[in-house]
């Protein structure tokens, strides 16, 4: 079946900048959106895991989505993170994002309470039936304790507005099985696997790396789609050490530290995500220095 593709290339899983007192820094948020768009980012993903969704109150979450949608102003698609482990809360947040003008939704699997594969089908069916926006499933079992199995993805793809999968399982064998079972649009959820997932027919990445290297991450994808597979692979390998460094601590601790060292002044994460240790900060500085980013 033919379904819309929300974007092709590198979508940034945008961080949420904070003031020293922990409030969202909306002025900085707008600056980051401009920086991303001016440097080749193909989509803005607002308030997902990297945006610290778990520690935002609903009013903050929705205000950040509103700012992202209004400030982006149609320059690239804005995909709203609206998933949770409460199906009805996910429905509520999805409806609010739709009313604001989001182009699509990113919906993570339920976490902590977890669920069965049948429960995943019921959960996503309820959300998709409540909101007529394109939905990207988000599979990240290392955080949620739940893996969307390939046959479940294929079943969910039968729902008209479930159009894509952000695959952050790290399991390329399962990703290949998904590609064999259905035509769902695949996005890498891991920056160290952008090219491998592109080689399986993927359309791009929802990227943490793009926060610091929007142009380079875009270029990695663009080179692939232009048929310059060697350049795409070269970029994957060139930036691999940095991509890995951005996960030396729990995301988004490391990427915020990197951005602060690079002069973006995005603040710290909210507790329970604590700042990196002095040794880890030095390791990050060493990596950034090797890439001439500081």
CA angle 70, 219, 190 (to 5 degrees): 80
The rounded distance, in Å, linking the Cα atoms of 157 and 224 is 25
Contact 71, 84 (CB under 8 A): no
Task: Write down the catalytic residue from 166, 187, 203, 256.
Answer: 166
- The answer to whether residue 166 is catalytic is yes
Task: Count CB-CB contacts under 10 A for residue 233.
Answer: 18
**How far is it between the farthest Cα atoms of the chain?**
52
The rounded distance, in Å, linking the Cα atoms of 66 and 269 is 21
- The answer to whether residue 138 is catalytic is yes
CA angle 196, 281, 60 (to 5 degrees): 75
Which one, of 140, 241, 133, 138, lies nearest residue 192 by Cα? 241
Task: Write down the catalytic residue from 111, 138, 157, 187.
Answer: 138
What is the chain's Cα-based Rg? 18
The rounded distance, in Å, linking the Cα atoms of 22 and 285 is 24
DSSP secondary structure code for residue 276 in this structure: P
Q: Which residues are catalytic?
A: 138, 166
């Amino acid at each position: 079946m033919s379904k819309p593709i929300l974007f092709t290339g590198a979508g940034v899983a945008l961080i949420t900048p904070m003031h020293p007192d922990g409030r969202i820094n909306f002025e900085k948020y707008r600056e980051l959106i401009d920086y991303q768009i001016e440097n080749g980012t193909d989509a803005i993903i607002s308030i997902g895991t990297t945006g610290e969704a778990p520690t935002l109150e609903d009013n903050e979450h929705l205000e950040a989505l509103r700012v992202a949608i209004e400030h982006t102003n149609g320059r690239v698609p804005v995909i709203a993170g609206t998933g949770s482990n409460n199906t009805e809360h996910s429905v509520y947040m999805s409806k609010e994002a739709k009313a604001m003008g989001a182009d699509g939704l990113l919906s993570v699997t339920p976490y902590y309470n977890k669920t069965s594969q049948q429960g995943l089908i019921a959960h996503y069916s309820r959300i998709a039936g409540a909101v007529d926006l394109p939905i990207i499933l988000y599979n990240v079992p290392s955080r949620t304790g739940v893996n969307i199995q390939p046959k479940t993805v294929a079943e969910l793809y039968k729902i008209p507005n479930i159009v894509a999968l952000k695959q952050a399982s790290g399991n390329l064998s399962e990703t290949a099985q998904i590609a064999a079972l259905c035509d769902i649009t695949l996005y890498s959820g891991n920056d160290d696997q952008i090219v491998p997932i592109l080689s399986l027919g993927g359309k791009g990445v929802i990227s943490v790396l793009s926060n610091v290297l929007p142009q380079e991450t875009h270029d990695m994808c663009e080179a692939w789609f232009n048929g310059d597979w060697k350049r795409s692979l070269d970029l994957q390998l060139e930036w691999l050490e940095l991509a890995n460094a951005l996960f030396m601590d729990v995301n988004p601790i490391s990427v915020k530290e990197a951005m602060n060292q690079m002069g973006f002044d995005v603040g710290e994460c909210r507790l329970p995500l604590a700042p990196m240790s002095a040794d880890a900060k030095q390791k990050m500085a060493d990596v950034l220095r090797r890439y001439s980013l500081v």
